[in-house]
Amino acid sequence: MKLNRREFVGTGVAAASTLAAPIVHAAGHGKPKVVVVGGGAGGATAARYIAKDSEGEIDVTLIEPSRSYYTCFFSNLYIGGFRELDSIEHSYGTLAAEYGINVVHDWATGVDRDAKTVALAGGGSVPYDRLVLSPGIDFVEGSVAGWDLNAQNAMPHAYKGGSQTELLKAQIEAMPEGGTFVMVAPPNPYRCPPGPYERISMVAHVLNTSNPTAKIIIADPKESFSKQALFEEGWQKHYGGMITRIGPDFGGGNVTVDPAAMTVDIDGETVNADVVNVIPAQKAGHICDAAGLTEGNWAPVVPQTMQSRMDENIHILGDATNQGDMPKSGYSANSQAKVAAMAVRGALTGSRVFPAKFSNTCWSLIETNDGVKVGATYEATDEKIAKVDGFVSQTGEDAALRKATYEESIGWYEGITTDMFG
Amino acid sequence: MILSVLGGVALVLGTAYGWTARDHRDAELAALTDRLAQVEARSASLSEQAAQVSELEAKLSELEAALVAAQEEAEAARQAALAPTPVIESPAESEPEEDTVVAVADGLEFGDPEQGKAVFGQCSFCHKIGQGAQDGIGPHLNGIFGRRAGAHEGFKYSEDMSMMGADGLTWNLETLNAYLENPKALVSRTRMNFAGLEEEQDRADILAYLRQFSASPQNIPEAAPTAQAREVELPDDILAIVGDTDYGEYLSSECKTCHQQDGTDEGIPSITQWPTEDFVIAMHAYKQKLRPHPVMQMMAGRLSAEEIAALAAYFGNLD
Ligand SMILES: Cc1cc2nc3c(=O)[nH]c(=O)nc-3n(C[C@H](O)[C@H](O)[C@H](O)COP(=O)(O)OP(=O)(O)OC[C@H]3O[C@@H](n4cnc5c(N)ncnc54)[C@H](O)[C@@H]3O)c2cc1C
C-alpha cells in the first residue's frame, strides 16, 4: 500500500481516535520514523514486526546498549544445568542485516516529547514519529533493607539476564557442603511471577545431586505465589525437606541483609548464609520515569494500542507497563509488541488495524522432565487488558504429560526467540 | 519385559494428552481400551518369552566366556610355541553359535498388521493410506516401501527431507524403523510432528500394516481402511468460509510465539502448509474441547469461525 500520510489519516480503525491532528514526520519529509528503546522481549519483537510488515515503508531504529541479549527466560534452566549459557544468548545481527533495522548500541538517557527526539548517552539524539519503549525493569531503592546495587556482586539479584545469572550459578556451585542458600523474594507486581520459584526448583536440583545436605530458605513477603500448589507438590516430591519458605505470617516480609557479613535477618532471627539471592521490589525501566510517563512505579498504557496514557506518540511494552491483568513475562511483552506494531503501522502507513488480541503462557521446570504451565488469553477493554480465559497445570499429573509440557517449553523458547530476533 | 510393555501403554496414553492426539476422544478411548486388553493378553506370553530370553542370555554369556577363554588359550599357545600358525579351532567353533544369537537380537522383522492398524490410529490424522488415499498434512503412504524419501510428487516436504531423499534415503524396513523410532534423529528438521514410537513391537506392527499397501497397487485392499469420520462434524457453511489472509497474518503473529513459521518443530508442532480443511477441523476440535491440549483449547476457544478460516488460509499458503 502506498498511501501518503494525508491520505491515510483517520483510516486506521482502532488508532483513529489517537490521530486527532495530522503528524508531520520527524525529518519533515521522507519515510516515517520509528525508534524502539530496548532490544528485549518487547522491543526486539516490535522492531522486527514493524520493519517486516511495513516492507521498507518505515525507518526503524533500535536503541539497545548490549550487543548480546541474554534471555531471563530459561536463565533458571541454565542455573539448573539444563541449558548452556550460549544457548540463551542472542545477537541483533539478523535484525540489522535481514530486516534493515538500524541497531544503535547505546543508552537512551531522555526523551524530548515536544521535539520528538530521544537523547543518547553517547551524545546526539534520534528523531521519531512514533517511539516504542520496552526498557524492562529497574529495582526500587531501599526495598530490601541493607541492599543496594553496590551489593549485587555479594548478593546477586540475577533478575536481569547475563553476568548476574552467571555469578549466581557460580556461587551456588561453590557452596560449602551443607551450606545455606537464601532467597529474598519480591513483592507483587514483579517480572515473571513463577520465576523465583522455578529458580528455587533449579537450585534444589543442583544441590540435591552435588550438595544434598544443603538448605534452601525463601523469605517471602507474599501470602501466596504463582503455581504454588504445583511447586510445593514438586518440592515435596523431589527435594523433600531441603526447602523452607517463610511467608509473611512468620516474618518473611521483614528482612534485613548484611552483604559484608553475609547474613540475612528474618524477623529478628539471623541466618548465616553462603549464597543470598536478593530479588528487590521492581519498577519500570528508568527511561519511562525520565520521560515523565510513569504513575507510581509503572507506565500506564491504552490497552487497544499500548500507547502511553500520557503521550499518544509513545507506545510502551512489557514489564514497564501498568496494563491490567497480564503478568510481566517475555511472552506477554512479545504479545503486546505485536499489537503495538500493528497500531504503529496503522497510524504511520494506513495499514489495516484489527482488534487487539493478547495471550500468555509461562512454563516452569520443577525437576528433570517435570514441567508445568499456566496461561491465559486477554482482550482490550477501555480501562485495562482484561483476562478472558485461562488454565493451569494440575497437581498429580502423570509423568508423560509433565515431560511433554517440558518439551513444549523448549519449542516455545525456540519459537519466541525466533519471533524476536528473526 | 512386562515393564517395558507397560511403558508402551504409558507412551500411548501420553500421546493422547500431547500434540499428536488427533482422534475423537471416544474413538481414542475405545482404541486404548482395546489395546490395553491386547497388551494384557500379550504380557502373559511375553513373560514366558522373557524367561526364554534370560535363558538365552545366560547361554550367550557362557559362550562369550568360552570364546574369551579360547582366545586367551590360543594366544598363549601361539606365544608359547612361537609358531607362525595361530591356533584358531576353538574360537572358530563357537563363532557360528554366537552369530545366530546376535542376528536374532538385531534382526528386524515385520510384526502383526492387525496390531499395526491400531497403532496407525495415531498417524491417521495426517497420513492417509488405502485405496483413494490423498495427501493431507503428510503425504499418503500407499507404496511407501521402496519410495525415495521426499520424492512423492505433489507433496511439499521439509528441506531436510528432500535433501535426505536426494542423498539417497529410500524407505525400507530398516530406514522406516529408524525414522519411526526417532524421526528427528534421522531427518533432523523434518516437519513431521511426532516424537517417535519407543516400542520395537509397535514399530514392527505398524510396518507390517504399511507393507500391505506397498507391494503394488493391486494389493491395496478394496475398502479404504483409514476412511474416517471427520473429527468434528462442521456445517458446510463453516467449511465454506473463505479466509481473509491479511487478517490471518495478524492473527498468526500470536501463533508464532510458539509455532515457527518455517515449520521447524521442537516440542511444538509445525502448522505451516496444512490443507485448509484439516487446519479448520483441528482448530474447531480444540475449540469444542474434543482435542485435549489446554493451551490450544484456550487459543482456539476465543477464535471465531472467520478467524479460524483466516488462519487456515494464511498458514496454508506460507512458503
Ligand atoms: C529468572 C527469570 C525467568 C523468567 N522466565 C520467563 C519465562 O519462562 N517465560 C516468560 O515469558 N518470561 C520469563 N521471564 C520474564 C521475562 O524475562 C521478562 O518479562 C521480559 O524480558 C520482559 O521484556 P521487556 O521487553 O519488558 O524487557 P527486557 O526483555 O528486560 O528488555 C529490556 C531491554 O531494554 C534495554 N534497556 C533498558 N533501558 C534502556 C535504555 N535507557 N536505553 C536503551 N536500552 C535500554 C535493556 O538493556 C534490555 O535489553 C523471566 C524472568 C526472569 C528474571
The confidence band for A60, taking pLDDT boundaries of 50, 70 and 90, is: very high
Tens of pLDDT, residue by residue over B62-85, are: 877 777 777 777 666 656 555 444
- Provide the pLDDT for residue B166: 84
Mean pLDDT of A356-369: 97
The confidence band for B15, taking pLDDT boundaries of 50, 70 and 90, is: very low
- Provide the pLDDT for residue B222: 45
Share of chain B above pLDDT 70, in %: 76
Cell of A26: 520527524
- Asked if A13 has any chain B CB less than 8 Å from its own CB, the reply is no
Residue A315 and residue A340 in contact, taking contact as beta carbons nearer than 8 Å: yes
- Asked if B254 has any chain A CB less than 8 Å from its own CB, the reply is yes
- Provide the pLDDT for residue B25: 67
Task: Tell which residue, A133, A134, A128, A135, has the closest CA to residue A113.
Answer: A128
- Provide the pLDDT for residue A3: 33
Q: Which residue from A minimizes the CA distance to B8?
A: A400
Interface test with A, best of B245, B246, B250 (most A CBs within 10 A): B250
The confidence band for B6, taking pLDDT boundaries of 50, 70 and 90, is: very low
- CATH second-level architecture of A145-278? 3-Layer(bba) Sandwich (3.50)
Residue B151 and residue B169 in contact, taking contact as beta carbons nearer than 8 Å: no
Of the candidate ranges A203-217, A397-411, B132-146, the one whose mean pLDDT is the lowest: B132-146
Task: Examine the pLDDT at A202 and tell me if it is beyond 60.
Answer: yes
Determine whether the shortest distance from the Cβ of A412 to ligand 1 is under 6 A: no
Topology agreement, domain B102-222 and domain B236-316: yes
Mutate to test the pocket of ligand 1, among A329, A335, A372, A416 (most ligand atoms within 8 A of CB): A329
Of all atoms in ligand 1, which is nearest to the CA of residue A161? 53
Topology agreement, domain A5-138+282-355 and domain A145-278: yes
- Provide the pLDDT for residue B100: 33
CA-nearest residue, atom 16 of ligand 1:
A330
Cα A207 to Cα A204, A402, B83, distances in angstroms: 5, 22, 61
CA-nearest residue, atom 37 of ligand 1:
A135
Helix locations, A80-130, DSSP H: 93-97
Size of interface A-B (CB pairs under 8 A): 103
CA-nearest residue, atom 45 of ligand 1:
A38
Task: Examine the pLDDT at A136 and tell me if it is beyond 80.
Answer: yes
Ligand 1 mean position, distance from CA B104 (Å): 56
**What is the number of other CB atoms lying within 10 angstroms of the CB of residue B129?**
23
- Asked if A411 has any chain B CB less than 8 Å from its own CB, the reply is yes
Instruction: Please state the CATH superfamily assignment of the domain spanning residues B236-316 in this structure.
Output: Cytochrome c-like domain (1.10.760.10)
Domain boundaries, chain B: 102-222, 236-316
Of the candidate ranges A133-142, A181-190, B81-90, B101-110, the one whose mean pLDDT is the lowest: B81-90
CA-nearest residue, atom 25 of ligand 1:
A42
- Asked if A414 has any chain B CB less than 8 Å from its own CB, the reply is yes
Mean pLDDT value across chain A: 93
Contact B268 A415 (CB under 8 A): yes
Residue B230 and residue B281 in contact, taking contact as beta carbons nearer than 8 Å: yes
Determine whether the shortest distance from the Cβ of A207 to ligand 1 is under 6 A: no
Task: Tell which residue, B1, B82, B73, B76, has the closest CA to residue B42.
Answer: B1
The confidence band for B16, taking pLDDT boundaries of 50, 70 and 90, is: very low
CA gap B24, B290 in Å, rounded: 6
Determine whether the shortest distance from the Cβ of A37 to ligand 1 is under 6 A: yes
Higher pLDDT among residues A278 and B153, named by residue: A278
- Provide the pLDDT for residue B80: 59
Beta strand segments in B151-257, E: none
CA-nearest residue, atom 31 of ligand 1:
A40
Contact B295 A391 (CB under 8 A): yes
- Asked if B3 has any chain A CB less than 8 Å from its own CB, the reply is no
Residue A327 and residue A336 in contact, taking contact as beta carbons nearer than 8 Å: no
Tens of pLDDT, residue by residue over A77-110, are: 999 999 999 999 999 999 999 999 999 999 999 9
Mutate to test the pocket of ligand 1, among A66, A73, A393 (most ligand atoms within 8 A of CB): A73
Longest dimension (CA), chain A: 71
Q: Which residue from B minimizes the CA distance to A416?
A: B257
- Provide the pLDDT for residue B81: 54
Annotation: CATH topology of B102-222? Cytochrome Bc1 Complex; Chain D, domain 2 (1.10.760)
Of all atoms in ligand 1, which is nearest to the CA of residue A329? 19
Ligand 1 mean position, distance from CA A77 (Å): 16
Domain boundaries, chain A: 5-138+282-355, 145-278
Amino acid at B157: Y
Q: Name the class of domain A5-138+282-355.
A: alpha beta
State whether the Cα torsion B234-B237-B238-B240 is positive or negative. Answer: positive
Task: Examine the pLDDT at B157 and tell me if it is beyond 80.
Answer: yes
Tens of pLDDT, residue by residue over A395-409, are: 999 999 999 999 999
Contact A375 B267 (CB under 8 A): no
Tens of pLDDT, residue by residue over B38-70, are: 777 777 777 777 778 778 877 877 877 777 777
- Provide the pLDDT for residue A4: 35
Q: For residue B55, count CB atoms less than 10 angstroms from its CB and return exposed for 0-12, middle for 13-18, buried for 19 or more.
A: exposed
- Asked if B260 has any chain A CB less than 8 Å from its own CB, the reply is yes
Treating both helix axes as pointing N-terminal to C-terminal, what angle do B276-287 and B305-316 enclose, rounded to 10 degrees? 140
Tens of pLDDT, residue by residue over A5-54, are: 333 333 333 333 344 344 445 555 689 999 999 999 999 999 999 999 99
Task: Examine the pLDDT at A129 and tell me if it is beyond 70.
Answer: yes
Task: Give me the phi and psi of A402, to 5 degrees please.
Answer: -65, -35
- Provide the pLDDT for residue B146: 86
Task: Tell which residue, B302, B257, B300, has the closest CA to residue A337.
Answer: B257
Residue B157 belongs to what H/E stretch? Answer: none
Task: Examine the pLDDT at B103 and tell me if it is beyond 60.
Answer: no
Residue B147 and residue B140 in contact, taking contact as beta carbons nearer than 8 Å: no
Determine whether the shortest distance from the Cβ of A371 to ligand 1 is under 6 A: no
| ipTM exceeds 0.85 | no
Angular region, B46: left φ>0, alpha ψ -120 to 50, beta rest: alpha
Task: Examine the pLDDT at A215 and tell me if it is beyond 70.
Answer: yes
Share of chain B above pLDDT 90, in %: 30
Q: What is the least distance, in Å, from the CA of A389 to any CA of chain B?
A: 7
